[in-house]
Amino acid sequence: MTSETHSPPRPLRPLRPLTARGRDEPHRVASPLELFFDLCFVVAIAQAGLQLAHAVAEGHTGEGVLNYAMQFFSIWWAWMNFSWFASAYDNDDVLYRVVTLVQIAGVLVLAAGVSRAFDQHDYVVVWLGYLIMRLAMAAQWLRAAKDAAGPERTMALRYAGGVLLCMVGWTGLVVLPEPARGWVFLVMVIAELCVPRYAEKDFPTPWHPHHISERYGLFTIIVLGETIAAATVAVKSAVDEHDALGELLPIAAGGLLIVFAAWWIYFVVPIHGHLRSNKQAFLWGYGHYLIFASAATIGAGLEVAVTQAVGKAHISTTAASAAVTLPAALYLLTVWALHARHYKVGIAQQLVLPVAALLVICCTFLGRWAVLAAGLVSALTVAVGVTLTARAAVGGSAGSGAGVEAAVE
């Protein structure tokens, strides 16, 4: 029996051909550069979440949610485009690293402009940061086209052209009057989402299923970590300023249970086996906008709940509770729809997460105990899921081996 060994790292070179990597390449894991990339992107998400929390606490929920959706899309879309490109073409030479660092600089510029976009509807800095990221992404695709031929080269050129054309469209957020910007955003979101489908209609990029599922999982972990950090800072500030530990303990405990359950539910099943076709991958990849956004919004909601508990928010207790329970319910539903349902066996297992989402929404109306109740429901959801899976595995042991494997997964 031979032991499995990892491939030796490639030596760093100034330039090497930017050619496609193998879709079934063994030992493919996220690189340190990709982890650094994720961490810097979460800085921008944190800024957007902070502004959302302030807007909701001031009673400007509709405007805050719309602004947050716009900022989050620009961050998520740039992250997702790089992640899928890197899964297919990462050659890790000096030029590739430098262009990736330029993209990181772009998201930091974008993060610096988030507060102006929220408060003054001034998108110049956000647009500039997005421009930097997208020009770097177009340069990567042009480089891939240079080293490709035939349909693959056409695909890379379509990507580069689509990225640049969409960037022209986004200029409308800067030059057009404010009433038209919502329509610009809607049209450009549709255009951006169509670019990958058009570019890959004749030649799909050779992304790596295990690598891409790991990348999404790692980003989910970082976003959930940012949620905990934001809630911790909010609780600490409230305790220092108001000495209101009794009012804040239920919120802190409930929030922690929600985040713990969110992590458990996402990682309870391996999803890479489901990502075999481009159609499945597109739906799964695009749908993560809701998973990432709802996970980050839970943190903003906990900040709102803390602010309301100490009397500094201009909203009701029910509204503050909804800022936590609604994104938590959305997270449960989207993880089930995109992720967990593919591995559930029987009606009972399939209903666990949808029912839990409904119960979490009902917790909204429990006053100061709403967040704690939502946390307990989330924890109970994990317990029920584990119990049903274990029973299915035991029952399947008397049947076929395939049934056991499906139940365990």
Q: In this structure, what is the dihedral angle of CA atoms 10, 11, 17, 21, given to the nearest 10 degrees? A: 10
Handedness of CA 178, 42, 196, 66 (dihedral sign): negative
36 DSSP 8-state letter: H
Rounded to whole angstroms, the Cα distance separating 266 from 275 reads 16
Q: What is the pLDDT of residue 93?
A: 87
> Which position has the higher pLDDT, 373 or 23?
373
Rounded to whole angstroms, the Cα distance separating 149 from 131 reads 28
> pLDDT for 135-176, tens place per residue?
999 999 999 999 888 999 999 999 999 999 999 999 998 999
Element (H, E) at 100: helix 94-120
For the segment 42-58, the average pLDDT, to the nearest whole number, is 89
Instruction: Give Cβ neighbours of residue 380 (< 8 Å, ≥ 6 apart).
Output: 356
Whose CA is closest to 52, among 127, 118, 107, 122? 118
Token look-up 């979490």 returns 360
> Which position has the higher pLDDT, 19 or 100?
100
**Range with top average pLDDT, 11-15, 25-29, 374-378, 400-404:** 374-378
> Is residue 91 over pLDDT 90?
no
**Burial per residue of 115-139, b for 16 or more beta-carbon CB atoms within 10 angstroms, e otherwise:** bebbeeeebebbbbbbbbbbbbbbb
Are 315 and 57 spatial neighbours (Cβ–Cβ below 8 Å)?
yes
> pLDDT for 321-373, tens place per residue?
999 999 999 999 999 888 767 666 678 778 889 999 999 999 999 988 999 99
How does residue 244 score in pLDDT terms, banded at 50, 70 and 90? low
Rounded to whole angstroms, the Cα distance separating 407 from 387 reads 12
Token look-up 């909804």 returns 322
Measured in residues, the chain has a length of 409
The token pair at 295 is 């996970």
Whose CA is closest to 136, among 82, 92, 174? 82
For the segment 12-21, the average pLDDT, to the nearest whole number, is 81
> pLDDT for 256-303, tens place per residue?
999 999 999 998 877 766 676 667 778 888 999 999 999 999 999 999
**Range with top average pLDDT, 11-25, 72-86, 231-245:** 72-86
225: alpha, beta or left? (left if phi > 0; alpha if psi -120 to 50) = alpha
> Is residue 397 over pLDDT 60?
no
For the segment 11-38, the average pLDDT, to the nearest whole number, is 84
> What percent of the chain is modeled with pLDDT above 90?
48
Q: What is the pLDDT of residue 393?
A: 65
Q: What is the pLDDT of residue 398?
A: 47
Rounded alpha-carbon distances, angstroms, from residue 261 to 104, 189, 255, 258, 365: 30, 31, 10, 5, 21
Are 155 and 197 spatial neighbours (Cβ–Cβ below 8 Å)?
no
The token pair at 339 is 């992720």
> Which position has the higher pLDDT, 114 or 312?
114
Rounded to whole angstroms, the Cα distance separating 390 from 58 reads 46
Selected from 3.40.50, 1.20.1410, 1.20.120, 1.10.260, the CATH number assigned to the domain covering 209-408 reads 1.20.1410
So where are the chain's domains? 32-199, 209-408
In the predicted model, what is the mean pLDDT of the chain?
A: 86
Are 307 and 313 spatial neighbours (Cβ–Cβ below 8 Å)?
yes
> Which position has the higher pLDDT, 368 or 377?
377
